[in-house]
């Protein structure tokens, strides 16, 4: 491929590929994101390749592997173009039927369609599936249309037109103004206005400046940055090149965690391709602007995602935060002005340059513009990656897109913002989701993690879980964070283990305040959110644990016991056979009894007891009733006596 040397050459190249491609020709697209790979989508791709050959269709059918579509739970996903027929949970054994029926005869294979669990309705096209229907996929949408390893696929969809426009029709100042006017705020957590940061970095003294992509993404349950980088690396790269030109930087870094091998692989491929095409390197598109990008593989510490820690790690030192008396846009990597943005922030930039600030600012709320990708996980029917306009309500995300709570259970709370986020209760489910609204509720946007919890979740235990994560991940450099989080964890552990005391809630609030006010970086400053938000909205649960030694959700092992209700037990032996600690006694015709001394509270008996019997009861906050005397345990005899 010869290097493209002007804006006109980009357009001519795009036109040439569009003309060359027959869009009426069937194309089988197979999702090869990490989620679908876990369901063996690579084996599926091979099966399609072999079947196409077997049926002699090599010249008539195209095959394309794509990035993550977002609905990973139903993977592997296969979409047949041009009709966009969507099949879910496809297995290699389905391949022959898909080729001979759908590709050759244009017939639908009914059993592979998505079926709505509530209405029972089937969806033929991906866009008809409720999970997708209610989303606005501006940033993430192209993931399912392109092969992430093909720059041509990206260019066909308009890729690199924003870069051409920026280089040849706009000055760096105009680009910064456009980004400022768009209202784009950083998607990595803080929500800082991107244009303002770019401007400060551009005006910072010094000839050498750096632009950096933050692809560390270490929040438990979050994977939107990884999936975007894996599935559409050129969109991030294009945004980065535009940013570099606007800021006046000639070297960029992509900081991506080593644990994301597919993202690393696809980023390297994208950089090589962009260099070959003249979109990176010396004199980009003949403009005289030089820019190179290096990849730095992070070792996988959560705190290294923090801006100053990440920059320290880029310098080859231990990734620990440092005081930011001087902003990193003035003095960052090797004390040079450095502009760091999140993966999703960069991927928004080409959209803004292509469509204009007014268009972008028309989406979202007054102070939070555009869309946001969320990683919707936990106790929700449709888990996956969801992109919605800022301001969409939590209810819309959880019910209209997420399909509600499984098994008819009650929604209890949603945790947003990653490990340092907060838990929002049911009474606030109609709240709009944007940077400021979430902060008002005691939570935060973070990078977009959203964990749904049902009635069986203990909120004290949830706070303990996140504090446990943060204790491990605190770098330990500053005392308030290192000790504060650890002390909060100790108090929470005591409460969940039945050792809570009067005054513990107040103690937690006090430690939370000190940790927030005195920690060096945002890890410590926000670590108290899970504690404070659960105290704010679920105080009675804390009180039940402390005063009544009762866990209302029946989760905290030290506060619960399992008991077999004699009048419900049918002596079916199922719980007895499954109990791993041999704590259940009984017989074929004899009511079963749990030996509380031997019970390890694993809950297996509760799970395996047939629903029609529901003989096992979880008891908390009151003594376990004594078992019936031995002579009253025989089921038959009992019946006979009744006669
Ligand atoms: C402990 C900690 C971890 C962070 N991890 C990430 C991360 O993985 N990805 C990210 O983009 N931002 C992360 N951030 C936020 C960054 O410090 C920084 O604000 C962000 O990368 C700036 O980009 P943005 O303005 O585009 O949001 C983290 C912050 C903290 C305190
Ligand atoms: S990896 Fe296939 S849908 Fe996410």
Centroid of ligand 2 to alpha carbon of 112 (angstroms): 16
* Atom of ligand 1 minimally distant from the CA of 216: 8
Considering the chain, what percentage of its residues have pLDDT values greater than 90?
91
What digits encode the pLDDT tens for the residues 512-525? 999 999 999 999 99
3-state helix, strand, coil in the chain (%, to 5): 45, 15, 40
| pLDDT of amino acid 119 | 85
Answer whether 74 contacts ligand 2 (Cβ < 6 A): no
Q: Is the pLDDT of residue 309 over 60?
A: yes
Distance CA 279, CA 16 (A): 18
Distance CA 293, CA 289 (A): 13
Distance CA 90, CA 83 (A): 18
Among 30, 36, 114, 146, name the best residue to mutate to test ligand 2's pocket (greatest count of ligand atoms within 8 A of Cβ).
Answer: 36
Answer whether 72 contacts ligand 2 (Cβ < 6 A): yes
Q: What is the mean pLDDT of residues 395-407?
A: 95
* Atom of ligand 1 minimally distant from the CA of 307: 17
Q: What is the mean pLDDT of residues 343-364?
A: 98
Q: Which residues of 53-76 are buried (b: 16+ CB within 10 A; e: fewer)?
A: eeeebeeebebbbbbbbbbbbbbb
Band of the pLDDT at 636, cuts 50, 70, 90? low
* Atom of ligand 2 minimally distant from the CA of 37: 1
Q: Whose CA is closest to atom 3 on ligand 2?
A: 72
The three-point CA angle 72-75-78 to 5° equals 120
What digits encode the pLDDT tens for the residues 582-630? 999 999 889 999 999 999 999 999 999 999 999 999 999 999 999 989 8
Q: 3-class SS at 560?
A: strand
Answer whether 474 contacts ligand 1 (Cβ < 6 A): no
Considering the chain, what percentage of its residues have pLDDT values greater than 70?
99
Answer whether 341 contacts ligand 1 (Cβ < 6 A): yes
Query: What are 212's two structure tokens?
Result: 């950096």
* Atom of ligand 2 minimally distant from the CA of 35: 1
Q: 3-class SS at 564?
A: strand
Residue 425: its H or E element: strand 422-425
Residues in contact with 263: Cβ distance below 8 Å, sequence separation at least 6, in sequence order: 215, 226, 229, 230, 233, 256
Answer whether 522 contacts ligand 1 (Cβ < 6 A): yes
Band of the pLDDT at 639, cuts 50, 70, 90? very low
Residues in contact with 169: Cβ distance below 8 Å, sequence separation at least 6, in sequence order: none
Answer whether 575 contacts ligand 2 (Cβ < 6 A): no
Answer whether 36 contacts ligand 2 (Cβ < 6 A): yes
Ligand in closest contact with the CA of 340: 1
What digits encode the pLDDT tens for the residues 533-549? 999 999 999 999 999 99
pTM, two decimals, is: 0.94
Distance CA 285, CA 420 (A): 43
Centroid of ligand 2 to alpha carbon of 40 (angstroms): 11
Q: Whose CA is closest to atom 14 on ligand 1?
A: 306
Ligand in closest contact with the CA of 66: 2
Q: Is the pLDDT of residue 641 over 70?
A: no
Q: Which residues of 330-357 are buried (b: 16+ CB within 10 A; e: fewer)?
A: bbbbeebbbbbbbbbbbbbbbbbbbeeb
Answer whether 542 contacts ligand 2 (Cβ < 6 A): no
Among 179, 183, 188, name the best residue to mutate to test ligand 1's pocket (greatest count of ligand atoms within 8 A of Cβ).
Answer: 188
Q: Whose CA is closest to atom 2 on ligand 1?
A: 306
Ligand in closest contact with the CA of 383: 2
Ligand in closest contact with the CA of 385: 2
| Residues counted in the chain | 643
Answer whether 305 contacts ligand 1 (Cβ < 6 A): yes
| pLDDT of amino acid 420 | 87
Question: Are 588 and 633 a contacting pair, CB within 8 Å?
Answer: no
Answer whether 320 contacts ligand 1 (Cβ < 6 A): no
Q: What is the mean pLDDT of residues 113-141?
A: 93
Instruction: Count CB atoms within 10 A of the CB of residue 465.
Output: 18
Answer whether 306 contacts ligand 1 (Cβ < 6 A): yes
Ligand in closest contact with the CA of 311: 1
Does a cis peptide bond (omega within 30 degrees of 0) precede residue 206?
no
| pLDDT of amino acid 220 | 82
Band of the pLDDT at 638, cuts 50, 70, 90? very low
Ligand in closest contact with the CA of 304: 1
Among 29, 30, 31, name the best residue to mutate to test ligand 2's pocket (greatest count of ligand atoms within 8 A of Cβ).
Answer: 31
Centroid of ligand 1 to alpha carbon of 273 (angstroms): 28
């Amino acid at each position: 491929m010869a290097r493209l040397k002007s804006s006109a050459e980009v357009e001519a190249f795009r036109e040439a590929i569009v003309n060359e491609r027959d869009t009426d020709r069937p194309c089988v697209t197979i999702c090869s994101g990490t989620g679908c790979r876990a369901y063996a989508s690579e084996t599926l791709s091979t099966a399609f390749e072999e079947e196409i050959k077997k049926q002699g269709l090599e010249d008539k059918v195209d095959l394309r592997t794509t990035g993550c579509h977002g609905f990973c739970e139903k993977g592997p996903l296969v979409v047949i173009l041009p009709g966009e027929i969507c099949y879910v949970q496809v297995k290699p054994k389905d391949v022959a039927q898909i080729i001979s029926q759908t590709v050759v005869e244009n017939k639908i294979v009914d059993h592979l369609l998505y079926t709505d669990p509530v209405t029972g309705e089937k969806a033929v096209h991906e866009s008809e599936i409720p999970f997708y229907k209610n989303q606005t996929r501006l940033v993430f949408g192209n993931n399912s249309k392109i092969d992430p390893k093909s720059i041509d696929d990206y260019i066909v969809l308009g890729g690199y037109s924003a870069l051409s426009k920026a280089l040849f029709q706009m000055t760096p100042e105009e680009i910064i103004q456009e980004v400022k006017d768009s209202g784009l705020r950083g998607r990595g957590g803080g929500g800082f206005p991107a244009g303002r940061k770019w401007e400060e970095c551009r005006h910072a003294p010094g000839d050498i400046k750096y632009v950096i992509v933050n692809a560390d993404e270490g929040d438990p349950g979050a994977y939107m940055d990884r999936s975007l980088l894996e599935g559409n690396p050129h969109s991030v790269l294009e945004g980065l090149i535009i940013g570099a030109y606007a800021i006046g930087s000639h070297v960029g870094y992509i900081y991506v965690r080593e644990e994301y091998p597919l993202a690393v692989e696809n980023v390297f491929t994208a950089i090589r391709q962009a260099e070959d095409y003249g979109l990176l390197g010396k004199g980009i598109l003949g403009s005289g602007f030089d820019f190179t990008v290096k990849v730095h593989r992070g070792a996988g510490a959560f705190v290294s995602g923090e801006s100053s820690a990440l920059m320290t790690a880029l310098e080859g030192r231990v990734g620990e935060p440092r005081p930011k008396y001087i902003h990193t846009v003035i003095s960052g990597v090797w004390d040079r002005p450095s502009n760091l943005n999140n993966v999703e922030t960069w991927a928004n930039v080409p959209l803004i340059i292509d469509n204009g600030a007014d268009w972008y600012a028309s989406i979202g709320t007054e102070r939070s513009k555009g869309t946001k990708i969320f990683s919707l996980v936990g106790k929700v029917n449709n888990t996956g990656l969801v992109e919605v306009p800022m301001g969409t309500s939590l209810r819309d995300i959880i019910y209209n897109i997420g399909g509600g709570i499984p098994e008819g259970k009650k929604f209890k709370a949603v945790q947003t913002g990653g490990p340092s986020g907060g838990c929002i209760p049911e009474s606030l489910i109609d709240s709009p989701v944007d940077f400021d609204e979430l902060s008002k509720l005691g939570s935060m946007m973070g990078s977009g993690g959203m964990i749904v919890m049902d009635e069986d979740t203990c909120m004290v235990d949830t706070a303990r879980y996140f504090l446990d994560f943060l204790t491990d991940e605190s770098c330990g450099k500053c005392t308030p964070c290192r000790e504060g989080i650890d002390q909060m964890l100790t108090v929470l552990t005591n409460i969940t283990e039945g050792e809570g005391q009067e005054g513990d809630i107040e103690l937690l609030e006090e430690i939370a305040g000190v940790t927030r006010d005195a920690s060096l970086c945002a890890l410590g400053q926000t670590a108290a959110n899970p504690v404070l938000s659960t105290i704010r909205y679920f105080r009675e649960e804390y009180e039940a644990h402390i005063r009544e030694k009762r866990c209302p959700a029946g989760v905290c092992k030290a506060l619960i016991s399992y008991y077999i209700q004699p009048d419900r037990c049918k002596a079916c032996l199922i719980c007895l056979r499954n109990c791993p600690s041999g704590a259940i006694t009984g017989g074929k015709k004899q009511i079963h009894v749990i030996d509380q001394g031997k019970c390890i509270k694993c809950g297996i008996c509760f799970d395996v007891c047939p629903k029609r019997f529901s003989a096992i009861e979880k008891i908390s906050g009151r003594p376990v009733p004594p078992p019936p005397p031995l002579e009253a345990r025989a089921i038959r005899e009992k019946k006979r006596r009744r006669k």
